[in-house]
Chain A
């Protein structure tokens, strides 16, 4: 149990467009999900904490108007990168919390041309 999926696994988009990434907990309910960003050869950096039914909590330096998070159900959180630019190209990873432990998704590779 405790499987987390992400969709899409890879996305390429043009600069200025918006991209939505989905994170689903497949076999458990998660009131809290987390979104991380990982640049090449770097560590995972927490972007925001997503709580079901309430506003996300963003880390310092992460623009909430640019990275829109919606956690509308106990099994789904979405991250929308609005008006994406090449510097937003990164590996975006979500995790879902169950009994205090975080279970990670497989990541989404975003490339902005």
Chain B
């Protein structure tokens, strides 16, 4: 089946630093999604990418859909304490979502 490799698994950063995480896949996806999940909650959609090469921003978040359609990255600029959580990429194929393993982000004030 499809597998997504997400890295890094965890990050510990200081407030104000920029963060970058990425996902790679063994197969092509038509859509890439990035979610944030806080403890005890469901994931919340941050950014959706629909076209290869697309670069999309949402406030301090920027994500790109790789040209090969097998990868995507998410950048968070000027991190703040409330950015803490687990970030998941997800590839969309038909109606199915395949999630990456997640990146646990910790921001120290």
Contacts and interface: CB of A to CB of B under 8 A. Distances in A.
Q: Are A and B a genuine interacting pair, yes or no?
A: yes
**Chain A binding site: helix, strand, loop or mixed by DSSP?**
strand
B102 A107 contact: no
A105 B95 contact: no
Interface residues of A, number: 23
Interface in B45-68: 45, 48
Contacts, number: 42
A104 interface: yes
A110 B76 CA distance: 33
Interface stretch (A14-22, A42-50, A62-70): A42-50
A106 B95 contact: no
Contacts of A6: 42
Nearest to B101: A43
Contacts of B45: 101
The 6 A-B residue pairs with the shortest CB-CB distance in the complex, in nearest-first order? A104-B42, A43-B99, A44-B99, A107-B42, A106-B42, A93-B42
Given A101-B48, A106-B42, A109-B40, 12 more contacts: A43-B88, A44-B43, A44-B88, A49-B96, A93-B42, A93-B43, A95-B42, A100-B95, A101-B45, A104-B42, A106-B41, A107-B41
